[in-house]
């Protein structure tokens, strides 16, 4: 065995013998072999070399119950920290007993170790990837399972692709890894067992209780276990963090159950309650795990049962949704240089073509559609029949907004500038210095201009002056940022009649109140970026979002407005 593998196994055995388990663990009968119960096989180790975690090597094992039938897709149960944790939890025996009693479905266990980058030479240490893979938030580890491990196992075993048929579990850092996989990809995993979970500030997992409260509920079910004697060190208090997780999950109406003990950072209690944990996450199977009812929030816009619906697809990259007075929505397909129209009956038609690099769109008070035609370095406008004319020439532009007086503003990310322009084509730079100004929108009363910085985590606020200049520049709106980046990816924006700001970001559509605080994060319509959003429909109560090659819509409880019409005064916000 190579030295790095010996070291890794040695660490796991040390963890298993001195920290995780003890001789005084009292197990239920479901964790002990029972006469007459078919015994599944534990196969492996199998070695895997990852591309998603470059250079790393790891082992995984498979548990295959005797009841497995290759003609029927089996459920999936992924466990972090490999066969050491699985056997410490007595999982093969627990699975045998519960499958035999038909208290849980037939499932293939996949016990995966964290990766190790082998040492460069005999005098060097390997790079142990456990904390990086397990303690980090974001979708990298989920991608590793979905794109590497599951396809590999599926070559030999018939695994279900239904997310309701997939569970994932872990202990300590492996527990937050398990929760994070389901959180990021509920379209792949929906059942989670977390013991002594490390929801503290090692690599950002302490943000989970906040995100659980702010993000739209996801269709996942969670079992939490911890003890009052768990760790309390520089990164946080483990038991308190688990209490915060439970509080947040209950607040957001998740199907959650917990088991608290008085133990420390070990798996004694976890191994005792594992049969009950598995019964809970699989209870009422094959009924699907339901998406929780939305919690009534300060910004109460989510309608239960309403989700994103696809409106149009087959484009290269959609952007710039804009709404006219009738509630019809127009959007651009940037690489194809086209503008499309979504009628009130949902029919999508071509409105204009031969518009190189057409991006942000916005209607003006003259009833014409203005657009950032960056390929020709122009601001253009279209008459209702699609005829195009130039308004501003010789500028790079990304997004724009027009006010009731006919004047407008546009962003120039290439030169880190914000411009003012008039319908007659006059133009002037009114701000410089934002690293990458992108989305731009005006407040309902048309006195405040907001600019998104796609490489920062703040939006900028300005007060509009009578001559079109900007004053009182300030970073104002605070955005959540993915763990693996410092860039929010803030892009297109819109506002509603209450003055709430909707910002498209890498984490979803973040909804900020007037004081600039994120109250709610709407799910992305599909994995990947969401570039822009606007209120449309005859009542302006439907959000239209552009996302990569598609356009989506969903009904909400609030209403949008027309920036190009007379200003309205929003209510005073709660401070």
d(CA 575, CA 568): 20
d(CA 371, CA 358): 7
Looking at residue 528, what is its pLDDT? 86
* Domain extents in the chain: 3-15+40-281, 309-555
Looking at residue 19, what is its pLDDT? 38
Looking at residue 24, what is its pLDDT? 63
State the architecture of 3-15+40-281 in CATH terms: 3-Layer(aba) Sandwich (3.40)
Fold of 309-555: Neuraminidase (2.120.10)
HSE value, Cβ hemisphere, 13 Å, CA-based, for 459: 35
Structure-token pair, residue 335: 């690489």
**Binding residue positions:** 438, 491
Q: Which of 34, 29, 39 is nearest to 63 (CA)?
A: 39
Task: Using DSSP bridges, classify how beta strands 166-171 and 75-80 pair: parallel, antiparallel or unpaired.
Answer: parallel
Q: Under a CB-based contact definition with an 8 Å cutoff, are residues 224 and 209 in contact?
A: no
Residue ranges of E strands in 97-188:
107-112, 116-117, 127-128, 166-171
H/E segment holding residue 339 = strand 338-342
Q: In the chain, what is the greatest distance between 2 CA atoms, to the nearest angstrom?
A: 88
Q: Under a CB-based contact definition with an 8 Å cutoff, are residues 239 and 308 in contact?
A: no
The answer for residues whose C-beta is within 8 angstroms of residue 145's C-beta and 6 or more apart is: 78, 112, 181, 188
Q: Under a CB-based contact definition with an 8 Å cutoff, are residues 448 and 512 in contact?
A: no
d(CA 457, CA 541): 28
Residue ranges of E strands in 113-267:
116-117, 127-128, 166-171, 191-195, 221-227, 232-233, 236-237, 255-261
Q: Is the torsion defined by CA of 242, 214, 480, 176 positive or negative?
A: positive
The SS3 call for residue 295 is: coil
**Binding residue positions for a divalent metal cation:** 438, 491
Looking at residue 296, what is its pLDDT? 81
- Give the C-alpha distances (Å, rounded to integers) separating 478 from 87, 194, 451, 459, 505: 45, 31, 12, 7, 12
Active-site residue set: 491
Task: Provide block-wise average pLDDT over 10 residues at a time, the chain (575 residues).
Answer: 44 38 73 97 98 98 98 98 97 98 98 97 96 94 98 98 98 98 97 98 95 96 98 97 98 97 95 98 97 87 95 97 98 98 98 97 98 97 96 97 98 98 97 97 98 96 98 96 80 97 96 96 92 98 98 97 95 88
Q: Under a CB-based contact definition with an 8 Å cutoff, are residues 117 and 55 in contact?
A: yes
- Beta-ladder partners of 49: 57
Report residue 389: phi and psi, to 5°: -140, 155
Our measurement of the distance from residue 68's CA atom to the centroid of its chain's CA atoms, rounded to an integer in Å, reads 34
H/E segment holding residue 494 = strand 493-495
Q: Under a CB-based contact definition with an 8 Å cutoff, are residues 563 and 399 in contact?
A: no
Helices and strands (DSSP H and E) totals, the chain = 10, 36
Looking at residue 485, what is its pLDDT? 66
- Beta-ladder partners of 437: 453
pTM of the model: 0.90
* DSSP output for 409-446: EEEEGGGTEEEEE-TTS-EEEEEE--SSEEEEEE-TTS
Q: Under a CB-based contact definition with an 8 Å cutoff, are residues 400 and 360 in contact?
A: yes
Residue with tokens 């003012």: 420
The answer for residues whose C-beta is within 8 angstroms of residue 214's C-beta and 6 or more apart is: 480, 518, 519, 520, 521
Query: C-alpha angle 448/389/373, rounded to 5°?
Result: 60
The answer for residues whose C-beta is within 8 angstroms of residue 365's C-beta and 6 or more apart is: 402, 403, 404, 405, 406, 564, 565
Report residue 94: phi and psi, to 5°: -60, -45
């Amino acid at each position: 065995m190579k030295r790095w593998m010996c070291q890794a196994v040695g660490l796991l055995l040390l963890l298993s013998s001195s920290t995780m388990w003890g001789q005084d663990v009292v197990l239920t009968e479901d964790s002990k072999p029972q006469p007459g119960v078919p015994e599944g096989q534990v196969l492996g180790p199998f070695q895997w070399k990852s591309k998603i975690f470059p250079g790393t090597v790891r082992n995984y094992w498979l548990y295959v119950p005797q009841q497995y039938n290759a003609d029927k897709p089996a459920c999936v149960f992924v466990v972090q920290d490999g066969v050491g944790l699985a056997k410490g939890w007595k999982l093969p025996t627990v699975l045998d007993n519960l499958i035999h009693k038909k208290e849980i479905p037939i499932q293939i266990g996949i016990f995966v170790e964290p990766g190790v980058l082998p040492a460069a030479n005999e005098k060097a240490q390997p790079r142990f990837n456990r904390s990086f893979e397990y303690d980090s938030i974001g979708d990298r580890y989920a991608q590793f399972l979905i794109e590497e491990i599951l396809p590999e196992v599926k070559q030999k075993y018939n695994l279900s692709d239904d997310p309701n048929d997939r569970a994932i579990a872990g202990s300590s850092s492996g527990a937050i890894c398990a929760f994070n996989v389901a959180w990021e990809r509920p379209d792949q995993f929906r059942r989670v067992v977390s013991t002594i979970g490390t929801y503290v500030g090692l690599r950002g997992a302490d943000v989970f209780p906040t995100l659980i409260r702010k993000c739209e509920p996801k269709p996942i079910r969670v079992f939490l276990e911890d003890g009052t004697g768990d760790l309390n060190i520089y990164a946080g208090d483990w038991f308190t963090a688990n209490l915060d997780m439970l509080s947040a999950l209950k607040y957001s109406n998740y199907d959650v159950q917990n088991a608290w003990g008085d133990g420390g950072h070990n798996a004694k209690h976890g191994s005792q309650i594992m049969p009950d944990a598995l019964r809970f996450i699989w209870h009422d199977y094959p009924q699907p795990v339901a998406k929780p009812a939305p919690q009534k929030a300060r910004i109460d816009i989510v309608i239960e049962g309403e989700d994103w619906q696809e409106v149009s697809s087959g484009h290269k990259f959609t952007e710039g949704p804009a709404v006219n007075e009738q509630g019809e929505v127009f959007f651009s397909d940037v690489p194809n240089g086209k503008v499309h129209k979504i009628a009130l009956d949902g029919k999508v038609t071509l409105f204009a073509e031969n518009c190189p690099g057409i991006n942000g769109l916005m209607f003006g008070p003259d009833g014409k559609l203005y657009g950032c035609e960056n390929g020709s370095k122009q601001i253009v406008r279209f008459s209702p029949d699609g005829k195009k004319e130039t308004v501003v020439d010789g500028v790079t532009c990304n997004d724009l907004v027009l006010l009731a007086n006919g004047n407008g503003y546009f962003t120039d990310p290439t030169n880190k500038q914000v411009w003012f322009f008039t319908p007659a084509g006059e133009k002037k730079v009114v701000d410089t210095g934002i690293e990458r100004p992108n989305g731009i929108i005006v407040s309902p009363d048309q006195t405040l201009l907001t600019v998104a910085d796609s490489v920062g985590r703040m939006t900028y606020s300005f007060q509009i002056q009578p001559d079109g200049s900007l004053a009182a520049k300030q970073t104002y709106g605070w955005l959540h940022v993915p763990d693996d980046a410092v860039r929010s990816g803030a892009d297109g924006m819109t506002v509603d009649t209450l003055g709430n700001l909707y910002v498209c970001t890498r984490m979803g559509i973040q909804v900020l109140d007037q004081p600039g605080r994120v109250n709610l994060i709407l799910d992305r319509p599909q994995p990947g970026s969401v570039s822009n959003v606007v209120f449309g429909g005859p009542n302006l109560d439907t959000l239209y979002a552009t996302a990569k090659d598609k356009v989506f819509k969903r009904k909400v409880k609030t209403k949008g407005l027309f920036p190009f019409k007379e200003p309205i005064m929003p209510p005073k916000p709660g401070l």
